[in-house]
Amino acid sequence: MQMSDGGNAGMAAPENMAAVLAAYEWRRNTVGQSGGAVYRLHGKAGAPDLFLKSGKGLVADDITDEMARLCWLSAYLPVPALVQFTRTADEAWLLMTAMPGETAYQILAHSPEQRSAVVAAIARFLRRIHAIPTSACPFTSNHEYRLARAQERLNAGLVDEEDFDDERQGWSAVQVWDALQALLPLASDPVVTHGDYSLDNILIKDGEVVACIDVGRVGIADRYQDIAIAWNSLGEFGASLQEEFLQQYDVPSFDREKLDFHLMLDEFF
């Protein structure tokens, strides 16, 4: 089944999704992608907006991971509802509901007067994620696991060196890898983590977080996995908001080495 977005060449969706996808307009979403394709489906009379993710190879594996985590996490947090999932040997399609609200990034960018309130909401929601019992979580995302995945991506030439943070512009992926190794071993403080707690993955409405999205990295890991990415995302809006976030979350004995480690680890994904 070939679908199109706004007259451009579309993606091939599986036939078993045809009835659900019929009569929707398609708009490709390019924010926060790490391979594959993401479409917002809208404009179908009497039907809710949906999101469709698809990809091949390693991206298909990531989409499969997200499907499993969506199903589990929905018992604890507001996340998109699974509508349909299809997987072949090399490709996956994940169809889910669109969630209300604007991203935290959008609000911080266009409503400066709300910035402190948004930071407080982000911190509260992160404490809520980290309070989920680790005994209930079947997924592991600790740094040993993620280092193994990072090495796979490094060896496969999949690391985008042009997309490194400013602190590592001009570095090679091997240099980042070596810097990571120099910080090991790290003591772990395991909690249930989102895994990619960036401003684009947090939806806010009426001053509160109403959902988190892109949950394919959810799992038990050190809490700095989330703290580091949120802190780094807030840096675009100034160091004062980064400090506010740490205070609102109540980060125990701030560990700069852990923060740096997790930011460098994230360069590989």
Q: What is the pLDDT of residues 238-262, one digit of tens each?
A: 999 999 999 999 997 899 999 999 9
The pLDDT of residue 136 is 98
Structural tokens at position 112: 């400066």
Res 97: pLDDT: 97
Return d(Cα 9, Cα 204) in angstroms, integer: 33
Catalytic residue at 65? no
Mean pLDDT across the chain: 93
Judged against a pLDDT cut of 50, whether residue 1 lies above it is answered with no
Note whether 67 and 108 are same-domain residues.
Answer: no
Which candidate in 49, 62, 178, 196 is catalytic?
196
Q: Does residue 28 lie within any of the structural domains?
A: yes
Regarding whether 131 and 86 lie in a shared domain, the answer is no
Do 89 and 76 lie in one domain? The reply is yes
- Whether 108 maps to a domain, the answer reads yes
In a domain, 6, yes or no: no
Tens digit of pLDDT for each residue in 199-241? 999 999 999 999 999 999 999 999 999 999 999 999 999 999 9
Count the domains in the chain: 2
Residue 29: what pLDDT? Answer: 83
Q: Are 236 and 265 in contact (CB under 8 A)?
A: no
Q: What is the CATH number of the domain that holds 89?
A: 3.30.200.20
Rounded to an integer, the average pLDDT of 194-200 is 97
CA-CA distance, 2 to 7, in Å (whole number)? 12
Return the structure tokens found at 119: 């930071």
Q: 70 pLDDT exceeds 60?
A: yes
Q: According to the model, what pLDDT value does residue 32 have?
A: 55
- One domain, residues 223 and 156: yes
Looking at the structure, do residues 227 and 140 belong to the same domain, yes or no? yes
Q: In whole angstroms, give the CA distance from residue 140 to residue 148.
A: 12
Final residue of a structural domain among 97, 118, 135: 97
Residues 176 and 116 in one domain: yes
Token readout for 206 is: 């009426």
Q: Which of 57-61, 80-84, 133-137, 195-199 has the lowest mean pLDDT?
A: 57-61
Using one digit for the tens of pLDDT, what is the confidence trace for 90-113? 999 999 999 999 999 999 999 999
Residue 8, pLDDT score: 36
- DSSP 8-state class, residue 51: E
Count H helices and E strands in the chain, helices first. Answer: 9, 10
Q: Verify that 120 and 212 share a domain, yes or no.
A: yes
Nearest to 128 by CA among 249, 241, 233, 218: 249
pLDDT band, very low/low/confident/very high, at 30 (cuts 50, 70, 90): confident
The CB-based long-range contact list for 26-29 (8 Å cut-off, 24+ gap) reads: none
130 DSSP 8-state letter:
H
Contacts of 194 (CB under 8 A, 6+ apart): 126, 129, 201, 212, 215, 217, 218, 226
Distances (CA, A) of 168 to 179, 232, 266: 11, 13, 12
The burial class, CB within 10 Å (0-12 / 13-18 / 19+), for 53 is buried
pLDDT at 168: 97
**Tens digits of per-residue pLDDT, 111-166?**
999 999 999 999 999 999 999 999 999 999 999 999 999 999 999 898 999 999 99
DSSP string, 147-166: HHHHHHHHHTT---GGG--G
Question: At a CB cut-off of 8 Å and minimum separation 6, what does 140 contact?
Answer: 219, 220, 221
Judge if 93 and 139 occupy the same domain.
Answer: no
Q: What's residue 3's pLDDT?
A: 47
pTM of the full predicted structure? Answer: 0.91
What domain range includes position 131? 102-266
pLDDT, tens digit, 9 for 90 and up, residues 3-16: 444 433 456 788 99
Q: Which of 43, 65, 97 corresponds to the end of one domain?
A: 97
Residue 2 is predicted with a pLDDT of: 45
- Please tell me whether residues 79 and 168 are part of one structural domain: no
d(CA 223, CA 249): 11
Residues 190 and 91 in one domain: no
pLDDT of the residue at 253: 85
User: Can you tell me the distance from the alpha carbon of 62 to that of 37, in angstroms, rounded to the nearest whole number?
Assistant: 12
